[in-house]
Copies of this chain bind each other. A is one copy, B any other.
Amino acid sequence: MPWPKEHKAETRARIVHAAAAAFREHGLEQVGVAEIMRRAELTHGGFYGHFASKDDLVAAVVAEAPAESEASLAALRGATSPGGALDEATAYLSPEHMAHPERGCLFAALGPELARGSRGVRRPLAAKIQQRLSRLAASLSSRLSPAVRRRRAAGTLACMVGGIVLARGLDEAEASAFLKDVRAFVRDALAEDD
């Protein structure tokens, strides 16, 4: 092998990382292959040595970006270990997350676009959403029944994603009041009978 073992995998990871940020900031269609490669400090021709198509890259972003954004949201929470569902929702529904789609949640930044995508994109998308639901459910009190935990995880994740999507559509002042209301709503919903 004429190149260091890990070289190609590292370059690929750099492309996925650059694409994940650019897509979340500007949308899938607004960011071209050339722009992504420029951000990864490469030239556009090399792209097809790593991916079969732009769609193939989008599928890779869906499979790999959520881990990054969860780490970024955990940092915002100031935590290294997974926190409770309420802590997660509170950090997620923050003005910081609203203002920074490029390092935030993929579903809130690109959900509808990804849902309209090819099977290759939808398959990892469904898997990542289910994974997120399972983890949220697991972070709820073990005194609750599995059915209640599943229900609360579903409702909480819906509030999180919808809260950020809507906040990004509002003016800044309106948005922070709105986010505060959604945080309080989730707090109340998770507190009852607990």
Interface positions of A (Cβ within 8 A of B): 26-27, 29-30, 101, 107-116, 122, 125-126, 129-130, 133, 150-163, 165-166, 168-171, 174, 178, 181-182, 184-186, 188-189, 192
A125 touches which one: B110, B156, B169 (CB < 8 A)?
B169
**How far, in Å, is A48 (CB) from chain B's closest CB?**
22
Asked whether A152 lies within 8 Å of B185 as measured between CB atoms, the reply is yes
How far apart sit A30 and B115, CA to CA, in the bound complex (Å)?
Answer: 14
How far apart sit A86 and B178, CA to CA, in the bound complex (Å)?
Answer: 19
Given contacts A29-B27, A154-B178, contact A166 B112 (CB under 8 A): no
Asked whether B178 lies within 8 Å of A189 as measured between CB atoms, the reply is no
Q: How many copies does the complex hold?
A: 2
**How far, in Å, is A165 (CB) from chain B's closest CB?**
4
Taking A101-B112, A155-B186, A158-B166 as given, write out 7 further A-B residue pairs in contact, using a Cβ cutoff of 8 Å, ordered by the A residue number: A112-B165, A126-B171, A150-B181, A153-B181, A155-B185, A160-B162, A165-B165
Listed residue (A111, A116, A155) with the most chain B CB atoms within 10 angstroms of its CB: A155
**How far, in Å, is A49 (CB) from chain B's closest CB?**
27
A112 touches which one: B111, B150, B159, B182 (CB < 8 A)?
B111
How far apart sit A29 and B154, CA to CA, in the bound complex (Å)?
Answer: 30
A165 touches which one: B26, B115, B130, B174 (CB < 8 A)?
B115
A111 touches which one: B153, B166, B184, B186 (CB < 8 A)?
B166
Asked whether A168 lies within 8 Å of B115 as measured between CB atoms, the reply is yes
Given contacts A26-B116, A116-B26, contact A129 B166 (CB under 8 A): yes
How far apart sit A161 and B170, CA to CA, in the bound complex (Å)?
Answer: 14
Asked whether B169 lies within 8 Å of A163 as measured between CB atoms, the reply is no
How far apart sit A169 and B125, CA to CA, in the bound complex (Å)?
Answer: 6
